Amino acid sequence: MKRVEIEVRGKQLILETGKFAKQADGAVLAQYGDTVVLATAVADKNPKEGLDFFPLTVDYQEKAYAAGKIPGGFFKREGRPSEKEILTSRLIDRPIRPLFEKGFYCETQCIVNVLSYGDENIADILGIISMSASLTISDIPFKAPVSVVRIGRIAGSFVINPDLREVEECDLNLVVAGSEDAVIMVEGEAQEISEPDLLEALDVAHREIKRLCAVQQELRALAGREKRMVTPPVVNENLAKSVRDVSLDKIKMAITIPDKLRRQNTLDEILKETIERLNTPEKDLTREIMDIFHETEKDLVRGMIIHENRRADGR
């Protein structure tokens, strides 16, 4: 069994592997105070043919036994996932999905089980950290560890991972996920916070995230497996140039349409025209054209936001 730990707000955050779920590609038990979660990651050895997306499934499971309770009343059993479990599954999915290697199309399942729920209000945070750690030590082609913190503000002071009591006093409550290099996801709420204060909160959160990513790298050094080889998709540069020549100016005009439905319908029409014009009877290039088209659209929208300070709908 391999174990690493780091101090966060006076308590030890512990990551262990090698004791539970040994048949999984990666499994990590995370503990902080009285909260304990087990994250397991398994990926098929063979890629699924004909997929144009990464088949990733993330499930967060928080059963009543984690809080020492037995379901009572009319329903004696636990049925479908609760709203919190669904939202937390999405919270875990968002920061890890972009970090898988391009061209990896093997069906992958990530499951986080809450074994013990304490009053630290950190089960969802531990879920992301432990899942990232399990992917980092596994042979699944995952680029780099990702970590997350909840950051609150009480009486003008920032608090990392506020507990259930402290959250009630916070006028800022953010969940910030990131890698050692950048912030990947921000979710939360605040009561009329200024932009400088929000940027300071993100900076404080990212400093803590870097520490948590470093401890995952330590675990990888102790228990990591060699990553699988993935052949990245090869972009046909001639086709990419043709797609941009045909559609670039039309996409630029379409992404400025204020109405969302009309904007999307216009983009769909442009894509359909592009496929009809560039597809060949000898070889079906629909998938390649769609990938290039959507990448071009993404770059244009991102460039408009960064350089012109304008969103896709003109705001």
Whole-angstrom distance, CA of residue 174 vs CA of residue 199: 12
- pLDDT of 175-202, one tens digit each? 999 999 999 999 988 888 888 999 999 9
Helical spans, DSSP H, in the chain: 83-96, 123-137, 164-167, 195-223, 237-254, 260-278, 286-308
Q: Say whether both 200 and 67 belong to one domain.
A: yes
Q: Is pLDDT above 90 for 270?
A: yes
Strands 26-32 vs 147-154: parallel, antiparallel or unpaired: unpaired
φ/ψ (deg, to 5) at 151: -120, 130
CATH of the domain at 247: 1.10.10.400
Q: Among residues 179, 196, 223, which one ends one of the domains?
A: 223
Please compute, for residue 177, the number of CA atoms within 13 A of its CA located in the half-sphere on the CB side: 25
Q: Say whether both 136 and 260 belong to one domain.
A: no
Please compute, for residue 150, the number of CA atoms within 13 A of its CA located in the half-sphere on the CB side: 23
Q: So what's the pLDDT on residue 287?
A: 84
CATH of the domain at 130: 3.30.230.70
Q: So what's the pLDDT on residue 147?
A: 94
Q: Is pLDDT above 90 for 110?
A: yes
Q: Say whether both 44 and 113 belong to one domain.
A: yes
- pTM for this model (two decimals): 0.85
Q: Say whether both 35 and 157 belong to one domain.
A: yes
